Chains A and B, each alone.
Chain A
Amino acid sequence: MKQNSEYLTANNLPRNFEITRDSIFTASGKNIRMETRNLTVKYGSKIGIQDISLPIENKKVTALIGPSGCGKTTFLRALNRMHDLTRIASVTGEVLLDNKNIYDPDVNPVIIRRKIGMVFQKPTPFPTMSIYDNVVAGLKLVGIRNKSLLNEVCERALTQAALFDEVKDRMKDPGMSLSGGQQQRLSIARALAVEPEVLLMDEPTSSLDPQATSRIEELIHTLKDQVTIVIITHNMQQAARVSDKTAFFYVGHVVEMGETKTLFTNPKEKRTEEYITGRFG
């Protein structure tokens, strides 16, 4: 799988690419898992994202693309209340999960984050824990002590993250002893171990080599039968390869959203076209 900057253009399409049209900002089916309504995040007086209303379909991969600093990460972090920890960040508008606003005062952010997992740009194994303990941290640290259950979950999560075969004989080694790509897959396994219903991925492959990248992309393909995925990527080809829906972010707004195929082949907005063909960004 190539990792260069060969951008997709109308003349340069992957095989099996067919053109469908989809109206912007509305989902094709009734199958909406999450939805944001007029979501605005400000850092002090600086606006991170403004007035974003976006549907996220169940068991589909939604890619967020756009130039650096356009608010993709800000948007993603708003989806599982990660901004709660940043004093200067203020979130207004709604984020609905199964039609319930996760910012309602009666909602416990800990429960929300159990349902909506997150994988970060850089691998973040817990430094003092073994590979095994890293994977099952989300269960063990909330009091689940059942050994056979933990073993089962550990194996399932590592297998899903395509790491099991590489680490099955060294489960007790520290998580930090793995290579960068393995650490990232470990972080993914850890996120999967708590069986999230939605998985947010913030450029999960940006620090990985092409081989590890392709393994994670395969993982995304296999996961989408079970999990709803939102992924940020700077790699247009990756967005085209892994996602069903794509949203193009630009200076805090969503310029265009639609079926990935449509967006890449027949963008409605000039800026989208300019971005995906590499004329800016």
Chain B
Amino acid sequence: MKSLRRRNIRDRVMEVVLMASTILVLLPLLIIIYHVISNGISAINWEFFTEELGSPSRAMQGRPTGLVHTMIGTLVVDFMALAIAVPVGIGAGVMLSEYPDHRLNPTLRIMNDTLNGMPAILKGLFAFVLIVKPMGTFSGIAGAAALAFVMIPIIARTTESALMSIPWTIREAALAIGLPRWRVVLSTVMPAAKTGLVTGILIGFARAAGEAAPLLFTSFGNNYLPNHWTGFIFNPVDTLPQRLYSLAISPYAQWHSMGWASAIVLLGFVILCFTAARLASRQKYQL
């Protein structure tokens, strides 16, 4: 009887410890969200979503100012990065999972892990040397390339683990009806792993969407809307994480609260991506 009571007490203690750690995980997030919203909400109005930023005097004199060019720029740069990263990342993931015997495989694995662990700013530097220097100008496409380097190793790893989670028997069954290997991967393994693939892409995307460092000397930033839409690709482009930084270090109180507001938008964007990833990862059939 005595030992049973002791076990019950231990059980209660464990429960309390688990609850405490859960709260510790949630608390910083809640504090951040509270701070961001309470500081930024005052700067959010209609103009915030429809006007370009312009010079600081606009905000100081109460003329309409906003971050529409930043939001469009973020979407353009992020989706360009996605368009570059998805084929490369998925391709590398398929290589890692489906061709373990290939002689390039070990090298690819090491390179991918290195790229994953490399500081994001170095990826920006790489894109600077690769694209900004030859082009002679900062540009959205250079920023997209830098962000793609952030996404690729994440997508490759999640693709690999999503494909590995599909039972080997599916591949054998597909081979046994005389399908070539690429067809087996493309038409039976990848569809079965679809939710995992989508989740991986969204996680990579959300992660890159929050990066400021690789964009500092690639997309550079811009206070104005371009004259033509191609300006979002070939000219310096503003993005939310980087604009957040430059607003925050500016000497203007109005811009500080706009910085907080841009944080609200960025946070909302990233939360949306992760929620979509969660929804997409709901499995229909248990394998």
Contacts and interface: CB of A to CB of B under 8 A. Distances in A.
**A and B part of one assembly:** yes
Interface of A: 80, 82, 85, 87, 110-111, 113-115, 117-120, 122, 124, 126-129, 137-138, 141-142, 174, 176, 187, 190-191, 193-194
Contacts of A191: 176-177
Task: Pick the 4 closest A-B CB pairs, nearest first.
Answer: A114-B178, A138-B177, A118-B176, A124-B173
Most chain A beta-carbon neighbours within 10 Å: one of B173, B178, B183:
B178
Contact of A110 (B169, B170, B180, B285): B180
14 contacts: A111-B178, A114-B178, A117-B176, A117-B177, A119-B176, A120-B169, A124-B172, A124-B173, A126-B170, A126-B192, A127-B285, A174-B285, A176-B285, A193-B177
A85 B175 CA distance: 10
Contacts of B116: none
B172 A82 contact: yes
Given A126-B170, A126-B192, 6 more contacts: A113-B177, A118-B172, A124-B167, A124-B169, A124-B173, A142-B183
Contact of B179 (A87, A115, A119, A138): A138
Contacts of A190: 173, 177
A143 to B, nearest CB: 10
A144 to B, nearest CB: 12
A120 B172 contact: yes
Contact of B178 (A82, A110, A122, A126): A110
Given A127-B170, A141-B183, A82 B176 contact: yes
Contact of B191 (A80, A113, A128): A128
A85 B171 contact: yes
Interface residues of B, number: 23
Contacts of B167: 124
B100 to A, nearest CB: 7
Given A110-B180, A117-B177, A138-B178, A85 B194 contact: no
Contacts of B100: 87
A142 B174 CA distance: 12
Contacts of A113: 175-178
Interface in B147-193: 167, 169-180, 183, 187-188, 191-192
A114 B170 CA distance: 16
A126 B188 contact: yes
Contacts, number: 78
B188 A122 contact: no
A116 to B, nearest CB: 8
Given A87-B101, A128-B194, A176-B285, A194 B177 contact: yes
Nearest to B180: A110
A230 B167 CA distance: 25
B177 to A, nearest CB: 4
A104 to B, nearest CB: 18
B287 interface: yes
Most chain B beta-carbon neighbours within 10 Å: one of A87, A114, A124, A129:
A124
Interface in B251-276: none
A8 to B, nearest CB: 31
Contacts of A194: 177-178
Interface string B99-127: 01100000000000000000000000000
Given A127-B192, A127-B287, A137 B176 contact: no
Nearest to A77: B172
Contacts of A82: 172, 175-176
Contacts of B183: 141-142
B165 to A, nearest CB: 12
Contacts of B188: 126, 128-129, 137
B174 A137 contact: yes
A120 B173 contact: yes
Nearest to A87: B101
Contacts of A142: 178-179, 183
